[in-house]
Amino acid sequence: MNPIDIQVYVTDIGRRAREASRHTARAATAAKDAALLAAASAIRREAATLAAENAKDLEAARSAGHDPAFVDRLALTPKVIESMAVGLEQIAALPDPVGEMSDLRFRPSGIQVGKMRVPLGVIGIVYESRPNVTIDAAGLCIKSGNATILRGGSEAIHSNRALAVLIREGLEHAGLPADAVQLIDTTDRAAVGALIQSPEFVDVIVPRGGKSLIERISKDARVPVIKHLDGICHVYVDDAADLEKAVRIADNAKTQRYSPCNTMETLLVDRGIAPRLLPPLGRIYVDKGVELRGCATTRELLAAAGLPCAAATEADWATEYLAPILAIRVVDGLDEAMAHIARWGSAHTDAIVTEDHSRAMRFLREVDSASVMINASTRFADGFEYGLGAEIGISTDKLHARGPVGLEGLTSMKWVVFGSGQVRS
């Protein structure tokens, strides 16, 4: 399409979404749940169609020379198809956040003032290769009363089209407007530009994907963005830590999985406990194939235990490895640990391991990250683990939603006033 046609196309989708959002905002809980369950059924019924459409994307990806990891992310295996259906059923089972009223208080004027949770309106989701995001994101938006405009990766276009048809079938089955979920059905990149610069049609953009996508969208957007940048997560093992807990948490935070954003990338160890902690912990990491990069003290202690450790540079403190590599630094106490986190961290998730109550509470209060933990693995920073039921992403922003974003993050609070004829004097 030429640039003018793209603008016309996206504007038309935006108008339809805005109109549909008026209906979904007032939709009954039962109707929204019925739409989600009907879409889940349709996904199971059309598993073969989905696999056939997905095969086109997979073939194109292989021909284009994409690596196996990329092709894997693109694949709608029977397991992925079933998990999409189950995901919609789980969202249907969650409480409806819309319309919740809270903090209703009478004021001296006689009015009663409180807040009501309402949908944000129209949510734009821009994502990369995984086609299951089409269903997960649409499901969360439907339940939270929002309309959604989806823009998936061009490599997944056949899969995404087939999935969008099924979720729209679910909406129609429940008497809701199909346009509550729309797919931008062009692989033209200009469509993303048009979408993220249309505050009249889009209330918030949620980018899902690699850092370059998110940075590009944040830079160009004229619509608020709920985003996730780096996950440079720290565990600080205090002098007063329980050694056994410290080993267990530091091991789990790094090695339970290497690629998630909530995996520890830098271990900070107090000088007092380092000689007792680092040799046994270093042995665990080395046995699991984790490459260690440490400060001078760390290297001395590990070398004395016969363990390899490269010299860390400042670049290591600033890197999200997403791989079996760990930076380690010995620090002089809590203040130096918190200063390191403030200087090098990404405000995602940071944990302290200590039995000292005052230091634990200082760390909890003073570390300015989306999730701050005492004596627990950073790997817990997750919508399911936090009890949100589902998550659309993890935000490293400070405004609006912070950390794991579930249904509530897709809503806002308006003020409601109950009066009986009051006027202002």
Site for its own copies contains 261 (CB under 8 A): no
Site for its own copies contains 400 (CB under 8 A): yes
Site for its own copies contains 288 (CB under 8 A): no
Site for its own copies contains 358 (CB under 8 A): no
Which member of 87, 207, 404, 406 binds its own copies (CB under 8 A)?
404
Site for its own copies contains 414 (CB under 8 A): yes
Which member of 125, 157, 163, 370 binds its own copies (CB under 8 A)?
370
Nearer to its own copies, 55 or 342 (CB): 342
Exposure of 141 in the CB half-sphere (CA atoms within 13 A): 31
Residues 202-221, interacting with its own copies (CB under 8 A)? 203-204, 219
Q: Could you tell me whether strands 403-405 and 310-311 are parallel, antiparallel, or unpaired per DSSP bridges?
A: unpaired
Q: Determine the Cα–Cα distance for residues 236 and 243; give it in Å rounded to an integer.
A: 12
Q: For residue 345, which of 223, 229, 221 has the smallest C-alpha distance? A: 229
CA distances from 305 to 74, 132, 275, 281, 287 (A): 44, 46, 10, 11, 13
Site for its own copies contains 197 (CB under 8 A): no
Between CA 391 and CA 399, with CA 396 as vertex, the angle to 5 degrees is 95
Site for its own copies contains 346 (CB under 8 A): no
Q: Which residues contact 369 (CB under 8 A, 6 or more apart)?
A: 341, 345, 347, 348, 349, 350
Identify the residue whose tokens are 């284009």: 64
Which member of 191, 337, 373, 392 binds its own copies (CB under 8 A)?
373
Site for its own copies contains 232 (CB under 8 A): no
What is the x/- site pattern for its own copies, positions 1-40, by CB under 8 A? ---------------------x--xx--------------
Nearer to its own copies, 2 or 420 (CB): 420
Nearer to its own copies, 278 or 388 (CB): 388
How many chain residues touch its own copies (CB under 8 A)? 70
Which token pair is 19? Answer: 């109109």
Between CA 84 and CA 88, with CA 86 as vertex, the angle to 5 degrees is 70
Q: Determine the Cα–Cα distance for residues 364 and 374; give it in Å rounded to an integer.
A: 7
Q: Strands (DSSP E) along 244-304, which ranges?
A: 264-270, 291-294
Q: Determine the Cα–Cα distance for residues 243 and 248; give it in Å rounded to an integer.
A: 9
Residue 368 carries which side chain, given as an amino acid letter? D
Site for its own copies contains 389 (CB under 8 A): no
Nearer to its own copies, 121 or 294 (CB): 121
Which SS3 state, helix, strand or coil, does residue 331 take? Answer: strand
Residues 85-114, interacting with its own copies (CB under 8 A)? 99, 105, 107, 109, 111, 113
Site for its own copies contains 343 (CB under 8 A): no
Residues contributing to the site for its own copies (CB under 8 A): 22, 25-26, 99, 105, 107, 109, 111, 113, 116, 118, 120-121, 203-204, 219, 222, 224, 242, 244-245, 248-249, 251-253, 256, 342, 351, 362, 364-366, 368-377, 379-381, 385-387, 397-400, 402-404, 412-425
